Amino acid sequence: MNTNVVDHPLAAALLTTMRDVRSDNATFRAALRSLTHMLVYEAMRDAPVEVFDVDTPVATTAGTRLANPPLLVPVLRAGLGMVEQASALLPQARVGFVGIARDESTHQPVPYLESLPEDLSRFPVYVLDPMLATGGSMVHTIDLLVARGATDITAVCVVAAPEGVAALRASGHPVRLITASIDEGLNEDAYIVPGLGDAGDRQFGPR
Ligand SMILES: O=P(O)(O)OC[C@H]1O[C@H](OP(=O)(O)OP(=O)(O)O)[C@H](O)[C@@H]1O
Ligand SMILES: O=c1cc[nH]c(=O)[nH]1
Ligand SMILES: [Mg+2]
């Protein structure tokens, strides 16, 4: 599995704002939006383009556009804070939704929403979720995508735990990972250390 840790001072500063326990909900959401911009920008670096003629006010020249705009899939709730910025960068992208809430005691993913196109065999798919902890929620999401024919999947996560990276790899699914950090690991509550807490709660308040 290909893993790309975005190494950039601006990304590191935004991640620091998100980690900081003193950042309020609005500050956290704003930093997540800006960091999503950087992660998606990096994730799309090698996206195939097609060339077409475009008329400037002066001449005709070669323009480019994405050959195959992706499907964006935010994992609710926390992934909602990433989708507006990703859509702004990719105005032709379609958006599907998956809702999963981790069980606090078992740490297993509990799915509650699935709204996806029937056939994903034609789309690159970008899954948006700030946190990859045990990997259970991401692997469940990717199971859904693969069942609909997806073969080109990118997980865009702000923070990943080594355990989550290993789970993604072990799933054997066709996925690559873009993240701003691979942290130390998980604590006894399966929270990422040092992490940033509960990314859903920090944007929207406790469930
Ligand atoms: O890798 P895992 O161990 O599955 O944990 C990661 C999941 O936990 C968080 O969601 P959460 O269940 O807290 O739901 P929320 O977004 O509604 O807060 C996060 O946004 C991921 O979806
Ligand atoms: O650290 C963690 C782990 C799971 N979900 C979160 O939001 N944060
Ligand atoms: Mg949460």
Q: Where are the domains of the chain?
A: 2-48+67-204
Spell out which residues line ligand 1, taking CB within 6 angstroms: 75, 77-78, 100-102, 107, 109, 129-138, 164, 190, 198-200, 207
pTM, two decimals, is 0.97
Is the domain 2-48+67-204 a CATH 3.30.710.10 member? no
pLDDT at 115: 98
To the question of whether residue 119 is assigned a binding role by annotation, the answer is no
pLDDT along the chain (207 residues), means of 10: 97 98 98 98 97 98 97 98 98 98 96 98 96 98 98 98 98 96 98 98 95
ipTM exceeding cut-off 0.85 for this assembly:
yes
For residue 96, how many other CB atoms are within 10 A of its CB?
Answer: 19
CB-neighbour burial class of residue 153 (10 A; exposed 0-12, middle 13-18, buried 19+)? buried
Distances 178 to 38, 55, 129, 158, 191 between C-alpha atoms, Å: 10, 35, 11, 8, 20
CB 170 within 8 A of CB 147: no
To the question of whether residue 137 is assigned a binding role by annotation, the answer is yes
Cα-to-centroid distance, 135 and ligand 3 (Å): 14
Cα-to-centroid distance, 102 and ligand 1 (Å): 6
Query: 203: which 2 tokens?
Result: 């944007």
Element housing 11 (H / E): helix 9-19
CB 18 within 8 A of CB 32: yes
